[in-house]
Chain A
Amino acid sequence: MIELDDVRKAFNQGRPNELWAVRGVSLNLPLKGLHVLKGPSGSGKTTLLAMIGCLSRPTAGRIRLDGRLISNLPERFMTEVRRATFGFVFQQFNLIRGLSVLDNVMLPAYPLAPDAGELRRRALALLGRFGIAARAAHKAEWLSGGEAQRAAVCRAMINDPRILIADEPTANLDSQRSQELLAVLGELVAMGKTVLVSSHDPLVFESAGVSHVVELHDGRLLGGGSC
């Protein structure tokens, strides 16, 4: 269970351009299924995802993961939680140019220092499962949009996280590729992972596999928070 309790986030606090991106969100999300945060751009869904995924800390309020408070940790410990629990797929894929697909996939594991051969096997197995094993040695910038997206999913899964967070994953894909991606996400849910997606694409939040949709507007929830 992910519990959010009156979570708020301000940018440029105390300065004239102060901005409250999230203004008091309370929400409970069970650790299974595919959850979608929906809302127009600027509604605070990405900021909220970043806080849930331990990428940033709320200015006020609490976030608990399975009862453990994770919102008040210093960065050093937030990172530990993050890399053990969350995998990320970003809007622009954010693969590192010039590195091979395989290297890109292995990157999140480097600070954990697993055995090199074992890590390689794990990465190749993931690439095989998501159908881009043939591209392992290619440079990341040579991939097509769909392949890059799948490589990004492989990278997110390399440390075997329980929760996958995807920020606007279909924004750069045509509708066929988007369907393929939803199929991939569905596969992850079937494997027992929790998937959190932010999107304003009807294709995503109207798809059959979605277990719960939360709607945000101006940093606040529309409708009830609990499910």
Chain B
Amino acid sequence: MLISPAFLALNGGAMLVSLLMLMAAGQAVQVLRHWDIKSGSERQLALERRTYLIATLVTWSVAAELVALLLFLHTAESMSSQFVGAMCATGVLNAHALGWPVLGLKIAVFFAGAVWLLVNQLDNKSPVYPLVRLKYALLLALLPLVLVQALAQLGFFLGLNPDLITSCCGSLFTAEGEGVAAEVAGIDPMLSLALMYGSGVALLAAGMRYPWEGRCGIVYALAGMLAFALALVAIVSAVALYVYEHPHHHCPFCLLKAGRGFIGYWLYLSLFAGAALALGVGVISPLRRVASISAVADAQARRLTTVSLGLFALFYLIATFAVVGSNLTMEGVWW
């Protein structure tokens, strides 16, 4: 076990977020049990006022989770010197079976939280609060995710054993290695870039239909998820190489190091925000069937689609810039 300030900050923070979410869930249960929008009673008024507290608690939890996600990666990065064979975050995540699951859970919590906030925002637009039951049921579903994430993270840090020899990005993300990461790194860069841009075009096609024709909300969300996944693959198999200007360095985390002009932050922020909003579109566009918020949901979904498309476009722009502006030339090797 390694008691470092970052360890304490991450786990203390996760505990606090769990506490806030438990509180929010407790309030949500109260609301679910006694909600009666038609009533003018004092109890209904009190419940309506609780919804403000719940929304505030969740907003802060999601914000804290986002900061925690970055802090988690940087902590893993800074701990790499304590593990033989680890040179960056990858090695530290490899050092324990829970490393990658924790990262996945953290990303999932961020996406789920962001979608919940979008649904909440939509619900607040109608005086009859038509989504109260849906959104608080979703909140109760989000709670276990947050708790599991906190526990997994604690388990990960407690289980880390500094004497362990781990493998790092150099050996994990190589074309010669085995496992998912190696498979991803080993994909033909030309293919992966083509897939990334291809999925971008598909996304654009799906996205254009929504704002103009009001159709394919769910298709857009699916296209968004696909584009998100393929973008991550392309980062590992091709874009990262251009950023590092090194033909064999595939690591997706080293992009976050300050030395690369913070390009990693721009890449990931635009990609994650775009994907989260795309997911939001997928959840919101079916809600047009709810009569009292039909128009609002439609307008909101159109707006989100546009913003999400813009963010994805920004991501593709940055990625293209990273490839074109790089000093690494792979002509003749790859194409």
Contact = CB atoms under 8 A, between A and B. Distances in A.
Interface in A34-79: 57-60, 71-77
5 contacts: A12-B42, A57-B40, A57-B45, A58-B40, A74-B48
Given A74-B129, A76-B124, A77-B127, A60 B40 contact: yes
A73 B48 contact: no
Main secondary structure of the interface of B (DSSP, over half): loop
A75 B37 CA distance: 11
Given A73-B127, A74-B48, A75-B49, A13 B37 contact: no
Contacts, number: 27
B4 interface: no
A63 to B, nearest CB: 11
A59 B44 CA distance: 10
Nearest to A62: B40
B38 A59 contact: no
A75 to B, nearest CB: 6
Contacts of A71: 40
Nearest to B49: A75
Contacts of A10: 42
B40 A59 contact: yes
A13 B129 CA distance: 24
A74 B126 CA distance: 9
Contact of A74 (B41, B42, B43, B127): B127
Interface residues on B, range: 10 to 19
Interface of A: 10, 12-13, 57-60, 71-77
Contacts of B124: 76
Contacts of B40: 57-60, 71-72
Given A74-B129, A76-B124, A77-B127, A13 B41 contact: yes
B127 A75 contact: no
Contact of A72 (B38, B42, B49): B38
Given A13-B43, A73-B127, 20 more contacts: A10-B42, A12-B42, A13-B41, A57-B45, A58-B40, A59-B40, A59-B42, A60-B40, A72-B38, A72-B40, A74-B37, A74-B48, A74-B127, A74-B129, A75-B45, A75-B48, A75-B49, A76-B124, A76-B127, A77-B127
A76 B37 CA distance: 13
Contacts of B43: 13
Interface string B9-51: 0000000000000000000000000000110111101001100
Q: What 10 A-B pairs have minimum CB-CB distances, sorted nearest first?
A: A77-B127, A59-B40, A73-B127, A13-B42, A74-B48, A57-B40, A58-B40, A74-B127, A75-B48, A13-B41
Contacts of B49: 75
Nearest to A15: B42
Contacts of B37: 74
Contacts of A12: 42
Nearest to A9: B40
A12 B46 CA distance: 12
Interface string B41-69: 11101001100000000000000000000
A15 B38 CA distance: 21
A128 B127 CA distance: 38
Interface string B156-170: 000000000000000
B9 to A, nearest CB: 36
